[in-house]
């Protein structure tokens, strides 16, 4: 197992070296930022307004499979997961405090990337023979390249790697792994009981399996109810911790900014990290967290009921902001201000480091983080099962979807008992291969995004969202 972990970690490091995937993500995100006229900054108030309107406004999904807010909740269910708890912790432990700065940079351009993904998801969505709407990069990538065969091949590549990422990556096993370990840590701290990893593994597997039986509508309704609550509870605890330790925040900011451009020194159990490592880990964990550029969330955004693709695009902007700039940053502040990130006891940790850090100021923090981890992991698992199902359906058709759900559910249990380094390395490695075809498609379709954006914000809204003719199942 150690040899396998070392091999996968080396491949993951190659994919996410600063001059490969991080550079591609930043270039494509920067290009889309320019083509859309800084949409994530100029129209951020619109993004907030549309997101809040979806939370408190009309719930009718007429014209789409789900409402815009259900699409946001489903996308947030997949993004606001244990990457926000365990992923941030592993980013700091491997890349140092400077990794958080590069996570912020990834999110800044990622808001434009997510905007483009959601816009194209709605614009190129299709209706399958079953009558259900389907969306995602596999459908808009088909139209991205001048050569139709090349476009189809690239779309198939995305769908294949999307299926693999959903089954083996951060949308499945990494989530159950963090849930299991935070529950084990909580039982040890609160009750002094050494709980086996398979016990919480069975719990999260059973809970997810029951929801998956109901398909996308049950997934969307479940996400709509639990996602806002789980985010608010976690933010409340994080804000309380930060207020109790407010004097340390300036030092934390200084540490993040200084280590972003200079190597992180070895301190305590922390072995130190180069700037290249900070960039590699910061960007890879940023994509893991907010999924901007990965191509997953337009599978949900694309089936929302909206009058214009841009209306769902700005909701995608808010999604990235809330996930990374708000939730991930709070986790980073908690870990760095606690000082436990240099403690030798936590150098192989993930979510258990976040729990221990929060526990330095808040009683019963282990229980709070364990419950947050369960809800985050649960929501991410149901969201990613749907993403993987749509990718699987594109490659293999609808007849084998039930078999996919069975395998997905079984791998949740497997993920709960494997090692932390292996499960995160597999996840980020697959993310890179999933993102590349999507980023190529986004680059070729940037003109379409720019035109739709200009037309919407200039008042030329003569657009009718409709699905293309039915495609075979």
Give the pLDDT of residue 53.
78
Contacts of residue 400, Cβ cutoff 8 Å, sequence gap at least 6? 392
CA 383 to chain centre: 10
Query: Does residue 210 lie in a domain region?
Result: yes
Query: Does residue 422 lie in a domain region?
Result: yes
Task: Label the pairing between strands 133-134 and 468-471.
Answer: unpaired
- The tally of domains found in the chain comes to 1
Give the pLDDT of residue 448.
95
Query: Does residue 1 lie in a domain region?
Result: no
Region for 165 from its dihedrals, namely left if φ exceeds 0, alpha if ψ lies in -120 to 50, beta otherwise = alpha
Give the pLDDT of residue 429.
87
Q: Return the CATH number at 197.
A: 1.20.1740
Query: Does residue 195 lie in a domain region?
Result: yes
Query: Does residue 472 lie in a domain region?
Result: no
Query: Does residue 41 lie in a domain region?
Result: yes
Domain that holds residue 72: 8-459
pTM above 0.85, yes or no: yes
CA 312 to CA 132: how far, in whole Å?
19
The label of the residue with tokens 């990556």 reads 169
- Local mean pLDDT, 10-residue blocks, the chain (473 residues): 82 87 92 96 93 63 65 71 80 94 94 97 86 90 92 96 90 85 84 90 87 68 73 88 95 95 92 91 86 92 89 93 93 95 87 87 83 79 88 89 91 88 83 94 96 90 62 62
Query: Does residue 467 lie in a domain region?
Result: no
**β-sheet bridge partners, residue 126:** 134, 468
Give the pLDDT of residue 197.
92
Q: Is 251 within 8 Å of 97 (Cβ atoms)?
A: no
CA 379 to CA 383: how far, in whole Å?
6
Contacts of residue 313, Cβ cutoff 8 Å, sequence gap at least 6? 39, 115, 116, 118, 119, 122, 453
Give the pLDDT of residue 361.
93
Task: Label the pairing between strands 133-134 and 126-128.
Answer: antiparallel
Give Cα separations from 462 to 126, 185, 213, 260, 457 (angstroms): 20, 56, 39, 46, 12
**β-sheet bridge partners, residue 169:** none
Give Cα separations from 187 to 192, 199, 370 (angstroms): 6, 11, 9
Query: Does residue 3 lie in a domain region?
Result: no
Choose among 434, 437, 397: nearest CA to 151.
437
């Amino acid at each position: 197992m150690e040899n396998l972990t070392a091999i996968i970690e080396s491949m993951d490091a190659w994919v996410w070296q600063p001059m490969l995937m991080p550079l591609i993500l930043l270039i494509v995100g920067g290009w889309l930022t320019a083509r859309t006229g800084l949409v994530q900054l100029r129209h951020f108030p619109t993004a907030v307004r549309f997101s809040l309107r979806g939370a408190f406004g009309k719930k009718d999904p007429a014209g789409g499979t789900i409402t815009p807010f259900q699409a946001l909740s489903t996308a947030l269910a997949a993004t606001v997961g244990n990457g926000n708890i365990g992923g941030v912790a592993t980013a700091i432990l491997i890349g140092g405090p400077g990794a958080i700065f590069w996570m912020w940079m990834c999110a800044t351009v990622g808001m434009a990337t997510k905007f483009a993904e959601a816009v194209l998801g709605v614009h190129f969505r299709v209706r399958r023979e079953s009558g259900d709407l389907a969306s995602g990069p596999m459908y808009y990538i088909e139209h991205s390249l001048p050569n139709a065969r090349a476009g189809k091949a690239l779309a198939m590549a995305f769908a294949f790697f999307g299926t693999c990422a959903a089954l083996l990556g951060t949308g499945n096993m990494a989530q159950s792994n963090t849930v299991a370990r935070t529950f084990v840590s909580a039982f040890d701290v609160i009750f002094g009981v050494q709980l086996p990893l398979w016990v919480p593994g069975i719990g999260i597997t059973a809970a997810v399996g029951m929801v998956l039986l109901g398909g996308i509508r049950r997934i969307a309704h479940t996400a709509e109810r639990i996602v806002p609550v789980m985010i608010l509870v976690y933010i409340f605890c994080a804000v309380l911790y930060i207020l109790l330790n407010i004097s340390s925040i300036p030092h934390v900011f200084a540490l993040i900014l200084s280590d972003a451009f200079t190597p992180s020194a070895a301190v305590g159990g922390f072995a130190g990290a180069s700037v290249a490592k900070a960039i590699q880990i910061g960007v890879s964990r940023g994509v893991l967290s907010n999924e901007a550029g990965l191509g997953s969330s337009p599978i949900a955004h694309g089936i929302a009921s909206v009058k214009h693709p841009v209306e769902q695009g700005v909701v995608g902007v808010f999604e990235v902001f809330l996930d990374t700039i708000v939730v991930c940053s709070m986790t980073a502040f908690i870990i760095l201000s606690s000082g436990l990130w240099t403690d030798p006891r936590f150098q192989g940790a993930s979510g258990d480091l976040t729990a221990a850090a929060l526990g330095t100021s808040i009683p019963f923090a282990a229980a709070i983080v364990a419950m947050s981890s369960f809800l985050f992991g649960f929501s991410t698992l149901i969201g990613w099962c749907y993403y993987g199902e749509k990718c699987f359906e594109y490659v293999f058709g609808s007849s084998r979807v039930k078999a996919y759900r069975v395998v997905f559910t079984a791998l949740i249990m497997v993920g709960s008992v494997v090692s932390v380094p292996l499960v995160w390395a597999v996840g980020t490695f697959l993310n890179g291969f999933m993102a590349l075809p999507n980023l190529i498609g986004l680059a070729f379709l940037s003109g379409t995004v720019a035109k739709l954006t200009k037309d919407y914000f200039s008042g030329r809204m003569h657009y009718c969202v409709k699905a293309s003719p039915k495609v075979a199942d």
